[in-house]
Each structure stands twice: as C-alpha cells, then as structure tokens.
C-alpha cells in the first residue's frame, strides 16, 4: 500500500504538538526574513549615504552648508547625524563664547563638550543599527533545538504506535518517523539564514562603527583648531 509522504501531507497529518512546533518555526523564519530584508536595505542606505556625505564633507564644502543640507539630502542617516550632533554643539559653544566676548572656545568646556555630543550620537546610531540583531542570534541558536523537540516528540509517538499495534513493519513506522524529521528540517531552515545574516550584519556593523569612530576623531581634530588652551 503506497503512503503519501509528501511534506504537505506530513505537516497536515502531524500531531498537535509537532504541528505547533512547525507553526512556531515558520513564524520565527518569517520574522527573521523580515528583519533580514529590513537590515539589508538599512545597511545599504547607511553605507551609500556615508560615502556621499564623506565626499561632500572632505570635498571642501563649508560646514554650515553641509549642516543645512542634511535634512533634505541625508534624513536620519548615521554619519550625517553624528556630524550634526557634534557641529551643533560646537556652534552652541561658539555662540556662548561670542556672547561672553572671548576670542575662542576654551578647551575645558569646548572640546570635551563636542566629544560628549559625538559619543552620544555614535551610541544612538549603533543602537539603531544593531536593533533586532539579537533576535536573529536567538532564532539561529534556538530553532534547531525547537525542531529537535518536535522530532523527539514525533519519534516517541511513532514508537508508542508500534507498541499499541504490535506492527514493526517499516511501512507502519515510516510516516511517524518522517513527520518527526520534518520538524528538524524546519528548525534548520529557520536557523541557517538567521545565523548567516547575523554574522554578516555584525561584520557590517563593525565596519560602519569603525568608519563613524574615525570620522568623529578627524572631526574633533578640526574642532581642536578652533579651541585654545
């Protein structure tokens, strides 16, 4: 007697626990893919706009002009946001210095204030770029075990069926074993893309973070020229 061992048939005829495991894994996989596509678009946009902003900034454009063009050209972009935070703090300090009739911003309240603004903006941008990466790591590490739980449960049910029917023929065991192994397969399908994406995005984040830190350091060097001891 031929038995239908197609994936769809096995899923529809699986036990309640195994079906629950499969549904959970499908949901985790869909959520992971949504995060993956979102992060891919965000990181691509961040890298592209960082490159364009760097070309504009180091191309000799006046800083006031660069600052004025950020809302239209680079809305909510990481590197321009860091520059914006640091330069706005510098402008505030320069305005306070001009009101107090001093020629330059003093180092004590100047460069440290700009550095704190840059550090705070850097932390905000890294937090924004790393959001939901922990979910990918969690899915990658737990999905195989969730699938393994479904597999173990399905195999236990298969052996219980053997004990009840006293039929040890392979044809009677095959559906239960196949149903159990589907859970393992779904666990791997959910885990592998999440792990690969997490590793790639983590590496991309480190590179973007290093680029932002380098820019902050170079920007501070520029600001230091306008500060006196």
Calculate mean pLDDT across residues 122-144. 95
Instruction: Tell me what pLDDT residue 182 has.
Output: 85
- Alpha helix locations (H) across the chain? 7-12, 16-57, 63-73, 78-99, 111-130, 133-165, 170-224
Domain membership of residue 66 (yes or no) is no
Domain membership of residue 121 (yes or no) is yes
Question: Is residue 216 over pLDDT 80?
Answer: yes
Question: Is residue 197 over pLDDT 50?
Answer: yes
Distance CA 223, CA 29 (A): 47
Question: Is residue 195 over pLDDT 90?
Answer: yes
Domain membership of residue 3 (yes or no) is no
Helix (H) or strand (E) holding 227: strand 227-228
Distance CA 161, CA 173 (A): 8
Task: Supply the pTM of this predicted model.
Answer: 0.82
Domain membership of residue 162 (yes or no) is yes
Total domains present in the chain:
1
Domain membership of residue 22 (yes or no) is yes
Which structural domain, as residue segments, surrounds residue 199?
A: 13-53+76-228
Instruction: Tell me what pLDDT residue 109 has.
Output: 54
Domain membership of residue 62 (yes or no) is no
Domain membership of residue 185 (yes or no) is yes
Distance CA 188, CA 180 (A): 13
Question: Is residue 106 over pLDDT 60?
Answer: no
Question: Is residue 227 over pLDDT 70?
Answer: no
- Position 41 confidence tier, pLDDT thresholds 50, 70, 90: very high
């Amino acid at each position: 007697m031929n038995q239908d061992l197609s994936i769809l048939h096995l899923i529809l005829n699986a036990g309640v626990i195994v079906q629950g495991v499969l549904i959970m894994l499908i949901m985790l996989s869909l959520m992971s893919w949504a995060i993956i596509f979102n992060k891919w678009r965000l990181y691509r946009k961040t890298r592209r706009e960082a490159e364009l902003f760097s070309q504009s900034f180091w191309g000799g454009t006046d800083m006031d002009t660069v600052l004025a063009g950020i809302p239209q050209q680079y809305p909510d972009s990481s590197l321009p946001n860091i520059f914006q935070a640091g330069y706005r703090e510098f402008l505030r300090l320069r305005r306070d210095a001009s009101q107090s009739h001093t020629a330059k911003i003093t180092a004590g309240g100047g460069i440290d204030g700009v550095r704190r603004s840059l550090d705070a903006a850097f932390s905000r941008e890294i937090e924004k770029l790393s959001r939901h990466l922990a979910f990918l790591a969690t899915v990658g590490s737990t999905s195989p075990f969730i699938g393994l739980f479904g597999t173990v449960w399905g195999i236990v049910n298969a052996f219980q069926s053997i004990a009840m029917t006293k039929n040890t023929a392979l044809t009677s065991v095959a559906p239960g074993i196949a149903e159990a192994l589907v859970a393992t397969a779904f666990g791997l399908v959910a885990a592998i893309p999440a792990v690969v994406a997490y590793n790639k995005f983590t590496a991309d984040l480190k590179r973007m973070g290093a680029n932002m830190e380098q820019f902050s350091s170079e920007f501070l060097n520029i600001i230091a020229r306008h500060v006196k001891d």
